[in-house]
Structure 1
């Protein structure tokens, strides 16, 4: 392998060969010939689909291609092993579009060493720049090289003349760049550990890539200097660098030399890459800047980014923003952003916030809904997904933890605005679900009065109130909901006796004393009850005393603050509520009455000790206890942006290996179209309650969300995506579940499936069906292939074993445009694609599967309940199935009044068998059974085709009936035997 890389660089610096992209793609027309790929690339070639190999060797990639470093063999093996030969994705409609995209690498490997060198540059640009920027850079390089060659006075070779007349369209450059990006995404996953280590080094640097003023000069300088360093390292020659381009190249080419890094060091890092010869040690002498917000940057004046105007100077930083991460890693970034408002007292708020979310989810899992008949028995999705990431973080150590901390600190610095709203960032109080408010905190403990009293006493002892005021305070709580029975207790011990006191009725003295160490006194004769004032609005407290007046200790405690009315035995005390809730438990300050009644008003300004805010530690302690049955009554609902995190988590929960661009966290989530649409559809209930699982989330919203998170900047309107059946972006193809699973399993079009692969087009491809799919017409010469024999009741056969579905792109491809910005390259396209049905190698027709399975106004497909249909028919034998997407299973339970008819008599003999596609396309008027048992592709293809042809179609469950209902001719005829019906068995 090292010899191959060495040959690359030897060709670069040979005096008879050029060193730039212009030489690789302009000095010769590579579409005119093909060379044998180096041995190291044969494994990659064997992993590519036939379609990608043909495209690489003869298509546009071959014209514009060059190569990659030597990791391709190992990465190809790794990905192939991960996919596995039995992966459902490999058998789906995607066919040759599945698998790793090494098209540009293979094209380069079959184009010569010069081409391989420039593929390294393609990966380098794709690593650092956005697609629009990279394409513009390529366009400038091609133009500059042509200009450079045209200025030669003499001595042109034929290859140079051919190169000067070569036309490389932006579309070709875009396809090439797209393939390079897809490869990087796949390779990064396979080399995650090594990439993480390298990124930890690069992200702490403060340096600029190639400060040359011109785009062409800057890029070529960075490219050549990087390859010099890598070539020497591969040959085992130690290198010392003081500029950062080489590190960008190493990251892009997935080569990992052992390093000595002088960042508050030196630090030795051993990566043990087998492709590095012994002695190939890289010494990094660049300055570190842990606190710098700039990091590694690169600025270029892009003259071809827009159609009109001066060159746009674009500056990019090589930081986490241009990295793709898993949803779990995104959750860590979000946790870091949420931690922005958390206190820094303990010095480790990242650990504290993770501990909180872990405890919160565990606590929520214990909440019972037995006493909440009107409460939807669901748990918040956002809490689940954040808790999962937080729990993993708390278990990490050494390098994995360092990487996780880096993600969270990135969120802390850059992403606190991601979940912000117009009111500002999500506050600590909102994250604590209102439990930092004293009244909510105490109410959660309403069924544990002793815990409430103890907490108030602890709180008051910490608040350091003035002594005189503390003597005027009492803890007040209700003993029964809706009752006027109150009890009282002192919040602080008596200075003389050091005892706490509480009062209750004489009948409760004994039981109360058993619960507490307080001195329990008799409050018999006192009546404390709510009173609606006729003078002032609001509720008050009135205390009624015996005729002899206040004489005991409970009365004497009010001695200086009570007055006696002349006309009654009512003693009045003015109460000021400091905190808490009188429906549960609170702290009140009593004063001399002023209005002839006891007034329990809101706290006066300045009277609220410590703002009556519950300490974070107390909230964490609360989460260690069993939640009360009525806890949901006192939880403050979180902002919808936090709920949306749960929706994102549900979307990604079934998308294996899908990644997210951290560019997407730069902007506020609530400004994105997918979020606005989601919020509008969940107006009165929080969105994570409405969309509790991924299959409840409409696909048009899910596709828009995926496009935004995959790219970081493509904000698509879900209302424009109603016809989208799939989306291809980077190294991922996302398809509606209804295209890749048995049609019986879906009652609506929600749910998305991800496969590794792409459709060979740059940017985001929104796959839409043609408006009028074409189906092959029956011909007269096929009469000998059509029998339409009577059905004999056999259901355990598959007569459509050669049926297949293939995704085929048409030439219709238009940009997704909502505004005109003058940018040359669109990044999102509507790409028309057909789902073609094949019988072996013979084309049968194209079908719009989603439209036929889920017709809105004229549904033709119904699904029989999984429940076995014994005795489902009434005496008239009328059809028990509606033409909606599901059937009312209760109708199956109706008892039949007549026996089943003789299978050989009457209407039973009308059912015919469909044994091939010819018989379905030229169907008789009688009801028919399509025998496709156990073959979900055939069941999907025949059901969609039948509906598209206008036939009423019923899909039976895959599982057999133990009582043989579905093989009973009479039963089947009575159930489905109307003229023209198609039964998919």
Structure 2
């Protein structure tokens, strides 16, 4: 009897595995499915221009939202209250942004491109609950990282998720057919870049509308020194930070107080613009009353104050495997306190060094040699011209940091790519290229 039962179990397991493997080969088009947006998001659909709404409902943005939603189904916790609160905030921000827009733009030839860019939001809202979570992750990455880093993170997340599903299917694990089929869908890098651009545009709009509360949050960050997540591996680090942020914010908007050891919740507040009251404990205890009606009474975030004179803020360090087409992984660290679209003052010299190397037409392979030559020139010129020795000493230190500290490479490369960021660059170019009098 037991032997027969064992054979029956083996037959069922084999059949299940065969069905799952067959499902993995199904090329199901997820774009055929469309949902009605949750009622909290529906005012956004009325405010979008016809072009953006069509793109969100029928274009590549909708395809990307559907495929990402299907691919990451089951990763995130259920957050009904957070989604309602976020949809309400989206509607509020969109209405105010449209009301503040000059009316003459709406009647111009560019009317299809005016108004708020909520393409990625509407595409997600008409796709699935998981797609909304994916959009919220896109806002987190856009808020924290620059476009190149964010897109490379997305590409690695997609690749690792597909790989994980494939391994589980091959092992014969039970899996929903839709999830197995989702791993077969191609999601192009350019589609991920469009998603990031739309999310980035939205975060900038929300930042302008919620300027007062956003500024309050930034002031709090000056007294903190923490990481979004401790893991530097992209897939595990980002997904765990994503889930932790969703869980924490769901409890906060539900009126459940939370204590944050990591900075994931602060990133969620900054990216989604839902502001709970914040209590900061340290040398001096501070209670910041945000008075956000979307957060129920009792939703208080408690933080430990760990001021750092050298580098305050909320940091995130990741090892990006898809940042470059060729070569090894690239370690990147960013701070939420900073605007990654601007060069921090402490890194200004590094960008200047890059601009000078660009003028020398130094290739990527010869950067180290160029930096060493630069240092030798600084030493030689200091000996020849004592009056500028102090300036050259500072420059030499910056060059040495470019050689020794990998984190300065971002600003060095920025200076090489966009040497015109120096206001005097045009004058310098004109002077150096002017004909020499005979």
The TM-score, its normalising length taken from structure 2, stands at: 0.69
CA offsets per residue over residues 410-464 of structure 1, 9 Å max, x none? Answer: 75x55588899999xxxxxxxxxxxxxxxxxxxxxxxxxxxxxxxxxxxxxxxxx
Q: Which residue of 2 aligns with 1:305?
A: 323
- Structure number with higher helix proportion: 2
Change over 3 Å in CA distance of 1:419–1:323 after alignment to 2: closer
Residue 196 (1) aligns with residue 212 (2): no
Give the Cα separation in 1 of the matches to 2:233 and 2:425.
Answer: 44
Residue 44 (1) aligns with residue 44 (2): yes
Give the Cα separation in 1 of the matches to 2:148 and 2:348.
Answer: 24
- Structure number with higher strand proportion: 1
Give the Cα separation in 2 of the matches to 1:179 and 1:92.
Answer: 22
Classify the secondary structure of the residue corresponding to 1:296: strand
Change over 3 Å in CA distance of 1:28–1:196 after alignment to 2: farther
On the 8 A contact 2:228/2:241 being kept in 1, the answer is: yes
CA offsets per residue over residues 844-865 of structure 1, 9 Å max, x none? Answer: xxxxxxxxxxxxxxxxxxxxxx
Higher relative contact order (CA 8 A, sep 6+): 2
On the 8 A contact 1:29/1:162 being kept in 2, the answer is: no
On the 8 A contact 2:255/2:300 being kept in 1, the answer is: yes
Change over 3 Å in CA distance of 1:293–1:255 after alignment to 2: same
CA offsets per residue over residues 91-133 of structure 1, 9 Å max, x none? Answer: 2221211111100000000011111111111111111111111
CA offsets per residue over residues 517-563 of structure 1, 9 Å max, x none? Answer: xxxxxxxxxxxxxxxxxxxxxxxxxxxxxxxxxxxxxxxxxxxxxxx
Q: Which residue of 1 aligns with 2:186?
A: 167
Classify the secondary structure of the residue corresponding to 1:186: helix
> Number of aligned pairs?
331
Change over 3 Å in CA distance of 1:681–1:137 after alignment to 2: closer
Residue 679 (1) aligns with residue 431 (2): no
Q: Which residue of 2 aligns with 1:734?
A: none
Q: Identify which of 153, 170, 173 aligns with 1:137.
A: 153
Quote how far apart the aligned CAs of 1:213 are: 4.1
Give the Cα separation in 2 of the matches to 1:681 and 1:415.
Answer: 20
Residue 116 (1) aligns with residue 132 (2): yes
The 5 Å alignment of 1:46-445 reads 46-65=46-65, 69-70=86-87, 71-84=89-102, 86-87=103-104, 89-152=105-168, 153-285=172-304, 287-293=305-311, 295-322=313-340, 411=345, 415=348
On the 8 A contact 1:296/1:319 being kept in 2, the answer is: yes
Change over 3 Å in CA distance of 1:196–1:28 after alignment to 2: farther
The 5 Å alignment of 1:805-954 reads none
On the 8 A contact 2:354/2:415 being kept in 1, the answer is: no
On the 8 A contact 2:255/2:297 being kept in 1, the answer is: yes
Quote how far apart the aligned CAs of 1:36 are: 0.7
Which 5+ residue runs of structure 2 have no aligned equivalent?
1-25, 70-82, 357-410, 433-438
Change over 3 Å in CA distance of 1:303–1:668 after alignment to 2: closer
On the 8 A contact 2:142/2:150 being kept in 1, the answer is: yes
CA offsets per residue over residues 865-892 of structure 1, 9 Å max, x none? Answer: xxxxxxxxxxxxxxxxxxxxxxxxxxxx
Quote how far apart the aligned CAs of 1:252 are: 0.5
Change over 3 Å in CA distance of 1:419–1:264 after alignment to 2: farther
Quote how far apart the aligned CAs of 1:674 are: 7.5
Give the Cα separation in 2 of the matches to 1:421 and 1:28.
Answer: 48
CA offsets per residue over residues 203-242 of structure 1, 9 Å max, x none? Answer: 3321222112421000011000011110001111111111
On the 8 A contact 2:255/2:299 being kept in 1, the answer is: yes
CA offsets per residue over residues 911-941 of structure 1, 9 Å max, x none? Answer: xxxxxxxxxxxxxxxxxxxxxxxxxxxxxxx
Q: Which residue of 1 aligns with 2:387?
A: none
Quote how far apart the aligned CAs of 1:263 are: 3.9
Give the Cα separation in 2 of the matches to 1:213 and 1:421.
Answer: 27
On the 8 A contact 1:75/1:190 being kept in 2, the answer is: yes
Classify the secondary structure of the residue corresponding to 1:69: helix
CA offsets per residue over residues 12-43 of structure 1, 9 Å max, x none? Answer: xxxxxxxxxxxxxx998541111111111111
On the 8 A contact 2:420/2:426 being kept in 1, the answer is: no
Give the Cα separation in 1 of the matches to 2:416 and 2:254.
Answer: 48
Classify the secondary structure of the residue corresponding to 1:284: strand
On the 8 A contact 1:30/1:62 being kept in 2, the answer is: no
Change over 3 Å in CA distance of 1:265–1:318 after alignment to 2: same
Classify the secondary structure of the residue corresponding to 1:297: strand
- Highest CA radius of gyration, 1 or 2? 1
Classify the secondary structure of the residue corresponding to 1:672: helix
Give the Cα separation in 2 of the matches to 1:418 and 1:302.
Answer: 22
Classify the secondary structure of the residue corresponding to 1:240: strand
Give the Cα separation in 2 of the matches to 1:233 and 1:670.
Answer: 43
Change over 3 Å in CA distance of 1:422–1:167 after alignment to 2: closer
Classify the secondary structure of the residue corresponding to 2:332: strand
Quote how far apart the aligned CAs of 1:64 are: 2.1
Superposition CA RMSD, Å: 3.2
Q: Which residue of 1 aligns with 2:12?
A: none
CA offsets per residue over residues 726-768 of structure 1, 9 Å max, x none? Answer: xxxxxxxxxxxxxxxxxxxxxxxxxxxxxxxxxxxxxxxxxxx
Classify the secondary structure of the residue corresponding to 2:231: coil
On the 8 A contact 2:277/2:288 being kept in 1, the answer is: yes
Change over 3 Å in CA distance of 1:669–1:36 after alignment to 2: closer
CA offsets per residue over residues 604-656 of structure 1, 9 Å max, x none? Answer: xxxxxxxxxxxxxxxxxxxxxxxxxxxxxxxxxxxxxxxxxxxxxxxxxxxxx
On the 8 A contact 2:355/2:415 being kept in 1, the answer is: no
Quote how far apart the aligned CAs of 1:161 are: 2.8
Quote how far apart the aligned CAs of 1:668 are: 10
On the 8 A contact 2:221/2:312 being kept in 1, the answer is: no
Q: Which residue of 2 aligns with 1:524?
A: none
**Structure 1 segments of 4+ aligned residues over 6 angstroms from their partners:** 416-423, 680-684
Classify the secondary structure of the residue corresponding to 1:151: helix
Quote how far apart the aligned CAs of 1:245 are: 1.0
On the 8 A contact 1:31/1:59 being kept in 2, the answer is: no
Change over 3 Å in CA distance of 1:108–1:422 after alignment to 2: closer
Quote how far apart the aligned CAs of 1:669 are: 12
Quote how far apart the aligned CAs of 1:195 are: 0.9
Change over 3 Å in CA distance of 1:150–1:41 after alignment to 2: same
On the 8 A contact 1:210/1:218 being kept in 2, the answer is: yes
Q: Which residue of 2 aligns with 1:917?
A: none
Quote how far apart the aligned CAs of 1:255 are: 0.7
Quote how far apart the aligned CAs of 1:292 are: 2.4
The TM-score, its normalising length taken from structure 1, stands at: 0.32
